[in-house]
Amino acid sequence: MVGVRSLGSRAPASAMPDPAKHNATKQAQPKVTLRGAALWAAAVVLLACPLLLIPSGAAMDGAAPVDTEPGLAKDTCSLAEDACDPTVSEVVVPPSSPTPTEPAPSVTATPTPTETEPACQVSGHQTVVFLDPGHGANVTPRPAESGGSEGIYSGESANGQEDIDVFAVAIKVQAGLEEAGYVVVLSRQAQPDPEGLALWQRGNAAEVANGGQPADIGISIHTDLASSVGAGQIYYNNLGGFRQNNADSTRRTFDNAATAATAERYAKVFQTVRGEDQQGTITITAGHEFPAGRNLGSHGDIPIVMLSAPSVPWVYNEFGRTDPAGLSEAQIDVYASSLIRATQQAIGPTEGTGPEVTTCP
Condensed to tens digits (0 to 9), the pLDDT of residues 64-122 reads: 444 444 444 444 444 444 444 444 444 455 555 555 566 666 656 666 656 677 789 99
Is the alpha carbon torsion for 344, 349, 350, 353 positive or negative? positive
**How far, in whole angstroms, is CA 233 from its chain's centroid?**
45
Structural Rg of the chain based on CA atoms: 55
Is the pLDDT at 326 greater than 50? The verdict is yes
Indicate the fold that domain 121-359 takes in CATH.
Answer: Aminopeptidase (3.40.630)
Condensed to tens digits (0 to 9), the pLDDT of residues 270-281 reads: 999 999 999 999
Kindly state the average pLDDT of the residues 229-253. 98
CB atoms within 10 A of CB 92: 10
Q: Are 79 and 45 in contact (CB under 8 A)?
A: yes
Q: Which residues pair with 268 in a beta bridge?
A: none
Domain residue extents for the chain: 13-84, 121-359
Condensed to tens digits (0 to 9), the pLDDT of residues 181-237 reads: 999 999 999 999 999 999 999 999 999 999 999 999 999 999 999 999 999 999 999
CA distance from start to end of the chain: 79
Condensed to tens digits (0 to 9), the pLDDT of residues 39-63 reads: 544 444 444 444 444 444 444 444 4
Kindly state the average pLDDT of the residues 295-302. 97
Is the pLDDT at 29 greater than 80? The verdict is no
Whole-number Å distance between alpha carbons of 284 and 300: 18
Condensed to tens digits (0 to 9), the pLDDT of residues 278-294 reads: 999 999 999 999 999 99
Is the pLDDT at 175 greater than 90? The verdict is yes
Residue type, 78: S
Q: For the chain, give the mean pLDDT.
A: 81
pLDDT reported for residue 117: 72
Kindly state the average pLDDT of the residues 125-154. 98
pLDDT reported for residue 118: 76
pTM score, two decimals?
0.69
Whole-number Å distance between alpha carbons of 179 and 183: 9
3-state secondary structure of 35: helix
Is the pLDDT at 35 greater than 80? The verdict is no
Higher-confidence position of 244 and 106 = 244
